[in-house]
Each structure stands twice: as structure tokens, then as C-alpha cells.
Structure 1
Amino acid sequence: MIKIEGRNPVIEALKSDRYIDKIMIASGAKEGSINKIIRMAKDKGIIVQEVDRKKLDEISESHSHQGVIAIGSDYKYYELDELLEIPRQKGEDPFFIILDEITDPHNLGSIMRSADAVGAHGIIVPKRRSASITPVVAKASAGAVEYMPICKVTNIVNAINKLKENGIWTVASDMDGDTYYEKNLKGPLALVVGSEGFGISRLVKENCDFTVKIPMVGNVSSLNASVACSILAYEIFRQRIESK
């Protein structure tokens, strides 16, 4: 079971098909969105418990529960074949995001939020040396965790090769690449983003079809991984819209 913390994440969880065992509400918190959560829970026959706010503080992992914590089923990770089936069913060009050793849960949550906004079909992460779905990730995603499929793979290079077998190009984010808005980013595509500290590993970069960079003129040498991912994902989104 997993704790879903914060008002918006709980609302999104209630909207989705995720199983929720119960919802704990801080005593006396009956205003605004809390009332909405209570109504939605009652409509679904979910138990709502009033507890002391200190109790929520004790069990909270995000330390930002906003007076509500839901106890729900664990996040369902997808197989790569299941991920590939999503754009096929929608009749759309595949658009995936591959994260090479993104270990910060806030970055993963933020990337999930952006990925959902631009219509990405899923996120691929390694089984090791990667953040997993936790209450912190769910909170940072602002509810996108309920809608964005994530696939854990043993080997990123093998996953890239399987995407290529399915006609999907891979583009790496790297400072040695071409300026991102000058490249054709239309069609079936997977965007590869590395960690802030180490970037994309050598083998992963060598197996990508091409690389792009975000030009910078300031004194800081790099962007936050989630910010860089969002910039590139929105450019892919822009070009996909224009090509329709």
C-alpha cells in the first residue's frame, strides 16, 4: 500500500481507478477542497476517518499533507510491451521519455507532471539507480502519477534498441548536441534525459540516434533535470501540433 498525500493528489487518485482503502482527514478540516474529497469518497463508498493533525504529521512522508492522506494500492509499473501498445491504441505517433538515473523524487514527480501535460505516452526508467513512486513523487507530480505510465527496465540500452525495432527514434539531451529548436522532433520519438550530476551515460548516448542541447548564456553550466526535460518535451509537443 502507498500513502497519497495532499489535496490535489488525493482528488486525482479518487478520479482514477486506483483502489483506495481509506482517507484520513485532519480533525476540523472541512473547508474547500477537503469537502470535495469527502463527497467524492462517500460517492465511492470509501471510508473517511477524522484524525488528529499530529497523527498525519507522524505518518507523512512528503511533510506536506495539507490535512489529508489517502491509503491506496501500490503504483502499477508497466512492461515495455504494454507501453508500446498505448500509442497504437490511440492511433498516435509514440512519444516516450527515458530517464537515465534520475534519483531525485522531486525531479521525477515534476517530470511526470510535464509528461502528462504534453501528452507523452509513458516514462521509462532503470530498475536500479532511479527514483521510485513514493508519496514525495506523487505530491510533486500534482496528481499526474495517476495518469502517467512508468516502465522499469533492467537495461536502458536494450530498451532503446527495442524502441528502434518499433520505428521509434531516440534523441539524447546533451551539451554536445545541436540546438534543440533547430532539429526535426516530429514523428515517433523518445527523449532521453540524464541526471544533473552525471548526465547521460556514455553507452546510452552512443545508442541514441542524435543529440540536442539547450543553449545557455548565463554563468550556471546546467539546468535542473526536470526543467531541461520540460523545455525539450514542450518543443516536441509544439512540433507535433504543427505537423497535424
Structure 2
Amino acid sequence: MRQIITGFHAIEEKVRSACESGVIDGLSLSYSKIGPRVKKILDVAKTAGIPCSQVDNKNLDSLVQSLPEVARDHRGIVLCAEGQSDSAQNEVNFDTWIAQTALSEEKSTILVLDSITDPHNVGAILRSCDQFGVDLAIMPNRNSVNNVSENEIIARSSAGASTYVPFCVAKNLNRAVQKIKEAGFWVYGADAGGESVQKLKFPAKTCIIMGSEGTGISRLLEEQCDSIVSIPTCGKIDSLNVSVATGVLLYERYRQSLA
């Protein structure tokens, strides 16, 4: 398996993560010219022993040809990962994670993404997860974008956060949420018709469910929610983009956790 990564942020975070873990086998960098951002990445890569080769732009264009159009803008540097494990280092086993968390009294935040299909949204959401301290992001096995470790658009849109945010893919999202509740979490679904988040005090163990871009949270998941929350707005359209709404709710959760 060969993975091609573009975008300064995504490449830099992948290189840093590999350096910290010591797992650099199969990684190589190709670049066409050395600007400030490229030089910064090359310095870290060379220190870690990742092979770096200077090539012309035609070579880079060839490397990214199979990527989605939005990911082909290599800006003079491309990271190749050959034969890497199918599982990302930040992908966790849900059953193990929730069992350990159930025994802890520490604050914890879980984010559940229900059938979100746009990889740009998933990437932006993972960036917010990183910034606001989400402990675990969960995606369903079906009807969503869940291949976080291999999706170049997610990596690019997340500015590299997809390398760090702990995540898992649940075969049965309803059953996963049941186990989350059994572990002591309060579950909140996001919907424009819910209670204002300004009136809500998130508990120590909080799970937030974000629904799909078009249809929102599925009926079975909504039935499991302890409460439905909304974000007060004043615009002329009826809702926020799901990645923006997620960022707002995660910020409020983070802000309250600091109090």
C-alpha cells in the first residue's frame, strides 16, 4: 500500500509523529525547491533519517496524479508512505478505551460523527478536536468518511490533526453509544431545535453527537441522547455547517472545563 500526502501542515505533522514514534520505515520526501516551510520540514525529516530527494515539479505532478483534484496542489513537496500499517497510530480499540475510561473519574470528551460524508468537514472537525481536547472521535463503519489514516483530503483539511486525534470506527454506532452511557457519559445531540448551549453545563463525562450534513442525527441515536442542544444564531439561513457547529460546541465544552 502506498499513501501520498500533500499540504505543508499534513506533511509536517506526519513527519513529526513518525519522528516521535520512531516509525519511519517506508517514508520518503520528494521536493522541488526549498522555501522556508519546505526547509523546516526537511530539517525534521533529515534529523529522523527520513530519505529526502530533490526532483522537478513534473515528478511531483506524477506522484499526486491519482489523488483527488483538491489534494494535487503539492506546493513543491510530497510525502510518500510505502507499506505502512493499515491502522493509524492514533486509532484506538473502542472496547478497551471505554472500559478504561469507565474506571476513571477524570473529565473526558467523546465526539460521535453520525454519517458525515464530506472529508473536508471531517478534516475540519478533527482540527477542532485537537484544539479543544477531544479524547476520542468515533465514526460509523458505514455511510460516512471513516478512513482517516489514508484519506488525503482529511489529512489536508485537518492541518495534520488527523495524525494526533484518537479515533475509532464503530461497526454499530448505536451499540457504541449505549456503552458510552454505561461508562457514565451524558450524551448530547446537536440540532437547531434543541436547548441553547448557553443554558447547559456540560458534566465531567460528555459525549456530543453531530449528525450528517443533510439529515442530521439518525432517529435511533437521537433517542439515546439525554438532551438535544443548539447554538443560538442570528443569520438568515437556517443552520451552520456541521464542522463550524462542531467547533462552536467543542469550544464551549472546553471553556466550561477550564472553569
TM-score, with normalisation over the residues of structure 2? Answer: 0.86
Q: Does 1:166 align with 2:183?
A: yes
Which SS does the other structure have where 1:24 is aligned? strand
Match of 2:110 in 1: 96
Q: 2:31 aligns with which of 23, 26, 31?
A: 26
Q: Does 1:38 align with 2:42?
A: yes
Q: How does 1:1-20 map to 2 (within 5 A)?
A: 1-16=2-17, 17=21, 19=24
Distance 1:24 1:53, change over 3 A: farther
Q: 1:184 aligns with which of 201, 216, 238?
A: 201
Contact 1:186–1:236 (CA under 8 A) maintained in structure 2: no
Q: Deviations over 1:77-102 (max 9, x none)?
A: 32213443676899731201000001
Gaps of 5+ in 2: none
Match of 2:80 in 1: 71
Contact 2:186–2:203 (CA under 8 A) maintained in structure 1: no
Match of 1:218 in 2: 235
Q: Deviations over 1:96-152 (max 9, x none)?
A: 100000110000000000001001111000011111220110011111111101110
CA distance in 1, matches of 2:144, 2:175: 17
User: What is the total number of aligned residue pairs between the two structures?
Assistant: 241
Deviation at 1:26, TM superposition (A): 3.1
Which SS does the other structure have where 1:12 is aligned? helix
Gaps of 5+ in 1: none
Contact 2:117–2:213 (CA under 8 A) maintained in structure 1: no
Q: Deviations over 1:221-240 (max 9, x none)?
A: 11111000000010000111
- The RMSD of aligned alpha carbons is 2.0
What amino acid maps onto 1:42 in structure 2? K
Aligned residues with identical type, % of pairs? 34
TM-score, with normalisation over the residues of structure 1? Answer: 0.91
Contact 2:116–2:122 (CA under 8 A) maintained in structure 1: yes
CA distance in 2, matches of 1:194, 1:51: 44
Distance 1:40 1:175, change over 3 A: same
